[in-house]
Amino acid sequence: MESVVVVGGGLAGVRAVEALRGKGFQGGLTLVSAERHRPYDRPPLSKAVLAGERDDTTVDADWDALGARLLLGERATALRPAPGGGGTVATTAGDLRFDGLVIATGAAPITLPGGGPQRVLRTVDDARALRARLAEGTRVVIVGAGWIGAEVATTAARKGCAVTVVEAADTPLANAVGPEVGALTAPWYAEAGVELRTGVKVAAIEADGLALADGGRIAADEVVVGVGVRPSLDWLEGSGVLVQGGIVTDAAFRATVGADDLRSDIVAVGDCAAWWSHRYGRRLLVEHWDTALNAPEVAAATLLGQEAAYDPVPYFWSEQFGRMVQYAGHHPAAERLVRRGDPAEAKWAVCWLSGDRLEAVLTVNRPRDLMQARRVIAAGTPVDPEAVADPDIPIKDAVRS
């Protein structure tokens, strides 16, 4: 293999470059990024950057030592795989031939109908622009009570804005952790002086705020939309790469091109990859930092002809309303939910169980529970459900011998 092209300048892209060099690849390496900035971390954007505590989250990479060509502010426009391997990526900077390709184009925020101004929070430029508008007394309406919505609400309220959060579901975080657990976070909004309106659907964003589906209106100086993202894959149209929500890959991140042709020379990773998990027996698309950080190691090994598979316990975190919220596992198939501590207190957790198997955990200000539970989930070790429900018993001590 003489040349590798990495399309996508986020964390997954830069980690793919580092992993390739770390595994001994000495050929030509080009990273194409639609953003004009060098790769940077996204989690601080809705936290420290928005709050004004940081302005730069550039990933600490030694580009001179990596010997990679950076094409910043350039976009991939098409992919033409060659039948026998390799191919060409068409970009705004010209065509790039490759022997190996890493697709790490991430995802783009979903926006809502209407001609009024709406802000999203995905890039460092988004964060800086929104930060400048969060002045005391500004009426900020946030559409979506998910992770991003809660984090933006936290910062806006601290800056003295009049904040309203509108959510179509009946509770915050309903899609992420289910309505029962999501309901436990609802009191946090009022505690922070944020108005939370659930079960409210938005028809359109207008010049002075929101038009609601029931005919109502909410006035706003700034509207922030945080209703999810979609993988950025339009440039793959006509390439033959199989896309079903995200790019369909196996556990080694090999993309499928054509009917059923798994390509070891074309891998996809990060927010745009729907990879097969043997642990859960299904395809996962995990749009979180932990996956972007660790999955490229496997993708790089695959490109270099090494055997590798990615099958971790998914993990993510959020800082909202003065709380550290962490989640590990995959709970949709769990049989029951067990509370661990009182949600009215500052520290608590919930665990999802199937029989005596721990499927997932969500913790609030209980980092030790998270670390121990993550290990138990990874090992698949049986636990005593009664011990799991006791917040005074460490989760590692709830394991059955």
Average pLDDT over residues 116-138: 97
Residue type, 273: A
The pair of structure tokens assigned to 346 is 């500052």
Mean pLDDT over residues 99-122, rounded?
Answer: 96
Query: Which pTM was predicted?
Result: 0.94
Query: Distance (Å, rounded) from C-alpha 236 to C-alpha 230?
Result: 14
| Residue 259 confidence (pLDDT) above 90 | no
- Integer-rounded Cα Rg, in Å, for the chain is 22
The pLDDT, as a whole number, for residue 32 is 98
Residue 62: exposed, middle, or buried by beta-carbon count in 10 A (0-12, 13-18, 19+)? exposed
CB atoms within 10 A of CB 28: 17
- The whole-number average pLDDT for the span 199-210 is 97
* Mean local confidence (pLDDT), 367-376: 97
Check if the beta carbon of residue 269 is closer than 8 Å to that of residue 16.
yes
Model confidence band, residue 166 (pLDDT cutoffs 50, 70, 90): very high
Question: Residue 47 corresponds to which tokens in the numbers above?
Answer: 């936290």
Please, where are the H alpha helices in 47-92?
48-51, 63-66
What mean pLDDT is predicted for residues 230-249?
Answer: 95
pLDDT of residue 227 exceeding 90, the answer is yes
Residue 386, Cβ neighbours under 10 Å: how many?
10
CB 92 within 8 A of CB 100: no
- Structural domains present in the chain: 3-108+230-303 (3.50.50.60), 111-225 (3.50.50.60), 322-398 (3.30.390.30)
How does 226-243 read in b/e, with b if 16+ C-beta sit within 10 Å? bbebebbbebbeebebbb
Q: Given this model, what pLDDT does residue 258 score?
A: 84
pLDDT at 77 over 90: yes
Helix (H/G/I), strand (E/B), else coil: 186: helix
pLDDT score at 200: 97
What's the CA gap between 43 and 73, in Å, rounded? 21
| Residue 190 confidence (pLDDT) | 97
Could you give the angle at which helices 289-303 and 11-22 cross, rounded to 10 degrees?
40
For residues 108-134, one letter each, b for 16 or more C-beta atoms within 10 angstroms of the residue's C-beta and e for the rest, the string is bbeebebebebbbbbbbebbeebbeeb
Output the pLDDT for position 401. Answer: 77
* CA geometry: angle 129, 131, 136, nearest 5 deg: 130
- pLDDT-derived band at 66 (thresholds 50, 70, 90) equals very high
At 261, the pLDDT band (50, 70, 90 cuts) reads: confident
pLDDT digits (tens, 9 = 90+) for 276-299: 999 999 999 998 999 999 999 999
Confidence at residue 128, expressed as pLDDT on a 0 to 100 scale:
97
Taking the C-alpha atoms of residue 247 and residue 104, their distance in angstroms, rounded to an integer, is: 10
